[in-house]
Amino acid sequence: MRKTTSLLLLLIIGVLGYGVAAPWITVYQIRDAADQRDSQALAEQVEFDSVRQSLKDQLNAKVQRELGGDIKQNPFAALGASLANMMVDGLLDTYMTPAGIARLMRGETPAPGIPESRPEPPTGNGGEAGSDTPGTERKKLFADARMGYRSLHRFVVTVTDDRHRQADFVLSRRGLDWKLTAIVLPLD
C-alpha cells in the first residue's frame, strides 16, 4: 500500500513538474530549431496562421490610428487604408518564415529575402570564444529575454535590446503542449 501511494505521489509530482516546465521546454525547442535553421522543427512549435493574424491585426490597427477619423470622411484615406492592408499582407508573407521569426527572436529586424539556408558546419573547436569568423557572429536567440507565465494558459518571452523592448513572443497552451501563437511588436 505504501509503495503504491509513494509511486502515485511521485507520478503526480512528475506530471505537475512537466506541466510547469513545459513552456520553458518549448522555448528551448524553438531556440534550438531556429539556431539549427530547421524550419520543420520550428513549424512544429509555431502556429504560423495565428502569429500572422496577430501581426496583421497590430499593423492594421496602427494604420487605422495613423489615419484617425479621416477614413469615414475622406475616400482617399479609405483607399490608402486598403492599400496599406495589401502592403501589410505582402510584408507578412515575406517575414512569416522560420528565418524571419528567428531574426525577431534575436532582437533583429527581419529583412526581405532572408535565405533559408542550412546550419553552418561546425568549426571543430567546440564553439569556444573566437571560433566564429569575423562578421558571422550572430546574436543568440532569446539572449536578452525575460520569460514568465502571464496566466495559466499564456506564457510570454520578452526580447529586449540594450534599451528597448523588441517583441513579446506569446506561447499558448494547446492541451499538454505549448505553441507560439502571437508576436506582439512595440509599434509606438
User: What is the arithmetic mean of pLDDT over 64-79?
Assistant: 70
Per-residue pLDDT at 130: 39
Answer whether 187's CB lies under 8 Å from 166's CB.
no
End-to-end CA distance of the chain: 61
- Residue 123 phi, psi dihedral angles, 5° rounding: -85, -15
116, pLDDT greater than 70: no
Per-residue pLDDT at 137: 56
User: What is the arithmetic mean of pLDDT over 61-87?
Assistant: 73
Answer whether 33's CB lies under 8 Å from 46's CB.
no
Per-residue pLDDT at 162: 66
Give residue-wise pLDDT tens across range 72-82.
677 777 777 77
